[in-house]
Amino acid sequence: MSGYGLFQPSTLGMKSQSHRLNTIGYNIANVNTGGFKRTDTQFETVLSKNFFAQSDTGGVKPYSRATNDIQGLVTPTNNELDLAIVGKGFFALQPELTASNQIFYTRDGSFSINTVDGQTSTVTSDDNSTITVANGYLVDKNGYFVLGSPMNQDGTFTSSAAAPMRVDQYAFVDQGQPTSTALLDFNLPSTSEFGDDTETYTLTTYDSAAAARQISFDFVPMLADNEWRVNVRADNLTSYTLGPSTAFSRSAGSAANTGFAYDSELRFDAAAKTVTLQNTTANIGATGAFNSFVVGDQITFSSTNNNNSTFTISAISADGATITVEEAVANESTGTATVTATSAGALSDPMTFSSLGQLSSNGTLTLSMTWDNAETSDITIDVSSMTQFAGAFTPNRTSQNGIGIADLADISFDNAGNVVGTFSDGTERTIYKIPLYDFTNPNGLEHVQKSDAARCACIQTSTRPSDRHARVRCRQWPVS
Average pLDDT, the chain: 83
Residues 115-129 have pLDDT tens digits of 988 888 888 777 778
- CB-based contact 20:443 (threshold 8 Å): no
Residue boundaries of the structural domains of the chain: 1-67, 87-175+407-480, 191-244+349-400, 248-345
Answer yes or no: is pLDDT of 258 > 60. no
* Three-state secondary-structure class, residue 394: strand
pLDDT at residue 467, rounded to an integer: 32
pLDDT at residue 454, rounded to an integer: 30
Name the pairing type of β-strands 298-302 and 284-285.
unpaired
Q: Cα torsion at 291, 294, 300, 304 (round to 10°)? A: 50
CATH of domain 191-244+349-400: 2.60.98.20
Query: DSSP string covering 174-208, please?
Result: T--B---EEEEEEE--TT--TTSPPEEEEEEEE-T
Instruction: State the pLDDT confidence band at 81, using cuts at 50, 70 and 90.
Output: very high
Architecture label for domain 248-345: Beta Barrel (2.40)
Distance between CA atoms of residues 47 and 214, nearest Å: 81
Answer yes or no: is pLDDT of 211 > 60. yes
Distance between CA atoms of residues 104 and 147, nearest Å: 10
- More reliable by pLDDT, 259 or 180: 180
Q: How many percent of the chain have pLDDT more than 70?
A: 84
How big is the chain by its Cα radius of gyration, in Å?
A: 38
- More reliable by pLDDT, 440 or 325: 325
Answer yes or no: is pLDDT of 477 > 70. no
Answer yes or no: is pLDDT of 455 > 50. no
